[in-house]
Structure 1
């Protein structure tokens, strides 16, 4: 018998409509799990009040924390009344993503639920939103919740990289599909696989006269179609549930998700950090803003959070 899951739900202090909490409660209908409602708060003005002693500032911080705990208690009371175990954790921290990831590392949460919204693309390239930091640095799966419903009998879409021979891609593909099958089992849903492959490089077609772009494209497509079908068969998924399209993943994955009206898209994220992440981001981050359904971001099994190293 598997042990109960321990789920973190990130509370949004700006709204009464807590879609991540609602989704986690819905998830708890199908899974044996307990929830922790987590909120990271910070008010710079309390740190700058020089007229107060350190002890007085701490007292003010604790009063704010207590107030937020009472507010969350009201939010979760209807679920507690129905027997669901919901703990409350309010943390005073000036960087919400660090507070979330640190709590995951300290408490060993199995999954994080967090509401999300569309990001401004230009700002996201310069000022990375909390969601992006969590995607890169949180070691456990992160479910970013949108407003799409979870009806039974729908579709769960898995974004795979089946054309790669690299071991970590193969391992991550299997990890994603196994998680998708568990979710699909909960919702009586169907699992579909989607794989994007690159088109003919224009510069090669121009620079090398004897290069045959049609033959190249046909070979590339055949390679990816065969690889996805082979992966699907390994996991008892029918060929008719595989979708292989030419294009960038951030275009292909949302297109297929819309066509299937998917409840959820599962995508692997390797957790790129540093300058490259600031400039180009990760595929998962580009995809999320274009989806109107939930996204479950999954790390490789051996992923180590940058915050864990420090």
Structure 2
């Protein structure tokens, strides 16, 4: 059975980027796209007729997206997106950023947080114009089961892409422990964990052959962004617990800031029950 994509949009001008990516992915995966727009009951447009809104969306769609299915509903946007994803059997939710400022992209914030925690499938937050397919992925890992799940989900969605596993380490109490020997011990321990992680039976041989391990010293965001640049990566993949939002991400409370600050698109993967 081919995968199914759900594109969630607020119909703002920047929605063209995630729409183009969703259409591009649908061609790669040989599947259809469902476009979902939720009329917020609390918004000024709450009285709008869903059928009329649907027709307006159809008229404004670019030619390459002419065949998408359109769903318009009223309700809470994040709750409705999560519900429709489950009801339609979607394998991936594609969405975008809320607005752009001089300080950088501002994501959908609590809406994305809610969707990531409640949606039954990964959530792709699109920031960049889709000039090419995703060729190189960077997956932040802490060697947990959540990281393993994120790697496998990304590998399944993008079977042709290289996967770079990136782990950041730091020397505890570095203000006092400045010995090169201490840093060496910490790095060696991280390398041992990486070896065990790569040997995990949860990886198929096909996926394991695509993994490229990297261990970097420093703050996790610094290490991740450096890996994105050095590998010319298209996509950052983050795994989350899905219990208490980004504070419970496997890579710590840095997940929300990385979702906002990443120069690339971001795939958020919640570990399934």
State the TM bucket, normalised to the shorter chain. Answer: 0.7 to 0.9
CA distance in 2, matches of 1:180, 1:287: 17
Aligned 8 A contact 2:239 2:271 in 1: yes
SS in 2 for 1:18: helix
Tell me what 2:171 maps to: 199
> How far apart are 1:132 and its partner, in Å?
2.4
Tell me what 2:192 maps to: 226
Tell me what 2:95 maps to: 114
Aligned 8 A contact 1:20 1:114 in 2: yes
> How far apart are 1:212 and its partner, in Å?
7.2
> How far apart are 1:248 and its partner, in Å?
2.9
Give the alignment's Cα RMSD to 1 decimal: 3.3
> How far apart are 1:70 and its partner, in Å?
1.1
> How far apart are 1:178 and its partner, in Å?
2.4
Unaligned runs of 5+ in 1: 48-59, 163-168, 206-210, 303-310
- Residue by residue over 1:105-131, the C-alpha shift from the partner in whole angstroms, topping out at 9 and shown as x without a partner, is 33332110001267899xx9xx95322
- Residue by residue over 1:3-57, the C-alpha shift from the partner in whole angstroms, topping out at 9 and shown as x without a partner, is 122211012322275211111110111113222100111364779xxxxxxxxxx
> How far apart are 1:247 and its partner, in Å?
2.5
SS in 2 for 1:196: strand
Measured at CA, do residues 23 and 267 of structure 1 come closer, stay the same or move farther in structure 2, by a change above 3 Å? Answer: same
Unaligned runs of 5+ in 2: 201-206
SS in 2 for 1:5: coil
> How far apart are 1:99 and its partner, in Å?
1.6
Aligned 8 A contact 2:5 2:31 in 1: yes
CA distance in 2, matches of 1:244, 1:118: 34
> How far apart are 1:146 and its partner, in Å?
0.9
> How far apart are 1:202 and its partner, in Å?
4.4
Aligned 8 A contact 2:14 2:97 in 1: no
CA distance in 1, matches of 2:150, 2:185: 26
> How far apart are 1:152 and its partner, in Å?
5.3
Correspondence for 1:244 among 208, 215, 223: 215
Larger radius of gyration between Structure 1 and Structure 2: 1
Q: Which has the higher strand share?
A: 2
Measured at CA, do residues 68 and 155 of structure 1 come closer, stay the same or move farther in structure 2, by a change above 3 Å? Answer: same
Measured at CA, do residues 13 and 77 of structure 1 come closer, stay the same or move farther in structure 2, by a change above 3 Å? Answer: closer
Tell me what 1:99 maps to: 80
Correspondence for 2:149 among 167, 175, 181: 175
> How far apart are 1:144 and its partner, in Å?
0.4
- Residue by residue over 1:143-169, the C-alpha shift from the partner in whole angstroms, topping out at 9 and shown as x without a partner, is 00011545358421111112xxxxxx2
- Residue by residue over 1:154-187, the C-alpha shift from the partner in whole angstroms, topping out at 9 and shown as x without a partner, is 421111112xxxxxx23x33322223333443xx
> How far apart are 1:222 and its partner, in Å?
0.9
- Residue by residue over 1:198-252, the C-alpha shift from the partner in whole angstroms, topping out at 9 and shown as x without a partner, is 332247x3xxxxx67543322221111232244346643478x321112232232
CA distance in 2, matches of 1:275, 1:228: 24
Q: Which has the higher helix share?
A: 1
